[in-house]
């Protein structure tokens, strides 16, 4: 699978007998940081938010994974990712992400991917798939025959004049109430499915569970835990069948 916009920062050359076997996947969200290593079944988490900076992330990850062994890291980042790592600062976290030396801090090979793209990778089953993540805002990614493209659909303007991410994200849910918010989300999903000629749409994120109604054909609910499967796949490691996702 071709992985677009994945930062392989400071990744050392490895001999064939040094293949990565255990990957610690870190999913950074606006509310929580979640971690899981392949071979384990239950992720661990801590609160994130405006006080979460890269040094604080390192501390939390070390605390959460103290009794786990792993030889590489996959990091799902809530922002734009370039060849050298994060290329934009997230609005819902603390500062200092762009230019931070993750490999030196973790003392492990690190691969970084946009968090929505990582969830999309974990949800992918083939063909042309659009991923929409309903959380603090709107995460999005498109996978076409195995090639991943990061999207920023939350920046588009909704008919109301607001940004789409503010309408279908947490603010829109709180302002509109669940019934009206669900209708807007379904309308958005159907429009995006047609616009991107998607064969399937996966809806993930923390608020996906609030869509308690029949979904349009070709649309299915994902699960936040698929981010971990995406992180393992980022290192070409497939989780055991009992793993989440």
All structural domains of the chain: 6-118+226-234 (3.30.420.40), 126-221 (3.30.420.40)
Angle at 80 between CA 124 and CA 30, to 5 degrees: 80
pLDDT at position 240: 58
How far apart CA 120 and CA 2 sit, in angstroms, is 13
How far apart CA 4 and CA 61 sit, in angstroms, is 26
Residue range 19-35: mean pLDDT, rounded: 90
93 pLDDT higher than 60: yes
Residue 212's pLDDT band, with cuts at 50, 70 and 90, is: confident
pLDDT at position 237: 85
pLDDT at position 95: 95
pLDDT at position 29: 84
User: For the packed helices 226-234 and 115-123, what is the interaxial angle rounded to 10 degrees?
Assistant: 90
4 pLDDT higher than 60: no
92 pLDDT higher than 70: yes
Runs of H (alpha helix) within the chain = 54-64, 102-106, 115-123, 164-168, 170-176, 178-195, 226-234
CA 174, 140, 26, 227: dihedral to nearest 10 degrees?
100
pLDDT at position 173: 95
pLDDT at position 222: 87
136 pLDDT higher than 60: yes
228 pLDDT higher than 80: yes
158 pLDDT higher than 50: yes
16 pLDDT higher than 50: no
pLDDT above 70: percentage of residues in the chain: 89
pLDDT at position 242: 42
- Mean of all residue pLDDT scores within the chain: 88
Name the DSSP class of 240.
P
pLDDT above 90: percentage of residues in the chain: 69
Residue 102's pLDDT band, with cuts at 50, 70 and 90, is: very high
């Amino acid at each position: 699978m071709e992985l677009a916009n994945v930062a392989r920062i400071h990744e050392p050359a490895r001999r064939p007998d040094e293949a990565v076997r255990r990957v610690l996947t870190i999913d950074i969200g606006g509310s929580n940081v979640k971690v899981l290593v392949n071979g384990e079944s239950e992720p661990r988490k801590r609160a994130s938010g405006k006080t979460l900076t890269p040094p604080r992330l390192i501390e939390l990850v070390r605390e959460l994974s103290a009794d786990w062994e792993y030889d590489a890291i996959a990091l799902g980042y809530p922002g734009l990712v370039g060849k050298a790592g994060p290329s934009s600062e997230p609005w819902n976290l603390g500062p200092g992400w762009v230019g931070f030396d993750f490999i030196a801090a973790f003392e492990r090979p690190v691969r970084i991917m946009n968090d929505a793209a990582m969830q999309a990778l974990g949800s992918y089953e083939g063909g042309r798939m659009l991923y929409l993540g309903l959380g603090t805002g709107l995460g999005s990614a498109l996978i076409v025959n195995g090639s991943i493209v990061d999207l920023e659909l939350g920046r588009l303007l909704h008919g109301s004049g607001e940004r789409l991410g503010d309408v279908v994200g947490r603010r829109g849910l709180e302002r509109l109430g669940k019934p009206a918010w669900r209708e807007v989300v379904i309308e958005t999903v159907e429009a995006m499915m047609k616009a991107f000629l998607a064969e399937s749409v996966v809806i993930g994120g923390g608020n996906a569970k609030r869509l308690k109604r029949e979904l349009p054909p070709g649309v299915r609910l994902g699960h936040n835990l698929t981010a971990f499967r995406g992180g393992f796949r980022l290192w070409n490691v497939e989780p055991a069948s009992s793993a989440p996702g």
